[in-house]
């Protein structure tokens, strides 16, 4: 789960903000806390796009986009397959289309199963290997999670 945090400068008794992505609901949650302990949240805005959450934090609490820090990957966008299912390292996927591999001179057929994928910094690409090609980078729009 991607999570970002920021410190607020004394606005509406809120001193800390947290922004989390929840894969189950496919939405971002913005939490506001009065204390460093962050229990329980004094403010909870939920299930919005990341852009809306950042805009809300800037408008209401003066927190600029550059002030956020945390364990988020590139852009904080989760990697999703062609059906919108979130992919994770180690997942198994299948190809939904025949793909010609440039430089290798082979075609990987639709229905080919690819095990143990690795996510990249780009949420639209995954690293993987097949019998025919080692070190293959695939676009996520051509794969489906099994």
Q: What is the pLDDT of residues 10-48, one digit of tens each?
A: 556 777 888 887 766 677 788 888 776 556 676 677 777
Is the pLDDT score of 96 beyond 90?
A: yes
Question: What integer pLDDT is reported at residue 2 of this predicted model?
Answer: 65
Q: 51: which 2 tokens? A: 């852009």
Q: Which pair of tokens denotes residue 78?
A: 């989760």
Name the region of 134 (left: φ>0; alpha: ψ -120 to 50; beta: rest).
beta
3-state helix, strand, coil in the chain (%, to 5): 15, 40, 45
Mean pLDDT of the chain: 81
Contact 50, 75 (CB under 8 A): no
Question: For position 114, what pLDDT does the model report?
Answer: 94
Locate 76 and state its tokens: 């904080």
Distance CA 96, CA 34 (A): 49
What's phi and psi for 2, nearest 5 deg?
Answer: -75, 135
User: What is the token pair recorded at 95?
Assistant: 């190809």
Residue 133 has pLDDT above 50, yes or no: yes
In order of their start, the domains of the chain are 3-74 (no CATH), 93-145 (2.30.30.40)
Phi, psi for residue 87 in degrees, rounded to 5? -100, 150
Q: Other C-beta atoms within 10 Å of 49: how many?
A: 10
Q: Which tops the pLDDT comparison, 23 or 56?
A: 56
| Residue 143 binned pLDDT confidence (cut-offs 50, 70, 90) | very high
Radius of gyration in angstroms for the set of CA atoms belonging to the chain, rounded to a whole number:
20
Is the pLDDT confidence value at 104 over 90? no
pLDDT of residue 91: 92
Phi, psi at 62, each rounded to 5°? 70, 25
- Looking at the chain, the whole-number percentage of residues with pLDDT higher than 70 is 82
3-state secondary structure of 142: helix
pLDDT exceeds 50 at position 72: no
């Amino acid at each position: 789960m991607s999570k970002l945090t920021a410190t607020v400068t004394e606005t509406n008794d809120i001193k800390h903000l947290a922004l989390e992505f929840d894969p189950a609901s496919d939405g971002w949650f913005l939490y506001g806390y009065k204390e460093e302990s962050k229990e329980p949240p004094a403010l909870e805005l939920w299930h919005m796009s990341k852009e809306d959450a950042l805009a809300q934090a800037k408008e209401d609490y003066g927190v600029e986009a550059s002030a956020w820090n945390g364990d988020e990957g590139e852009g904080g966008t989760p990697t999703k397959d062609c059906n919108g299912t979130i992919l994770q390292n180690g997942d198994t996927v299948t190809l939904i289309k025949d793909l010609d591999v440039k430089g290798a001179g082979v075609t990987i057929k639709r229905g080919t199963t690819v095990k143990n994928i690795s996510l990249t910094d780009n949420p639209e690409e995954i690293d993987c290997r097949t019998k025919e090609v080692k070190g293959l980078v695939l676009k996520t729009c051509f794969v489906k999670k099994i």
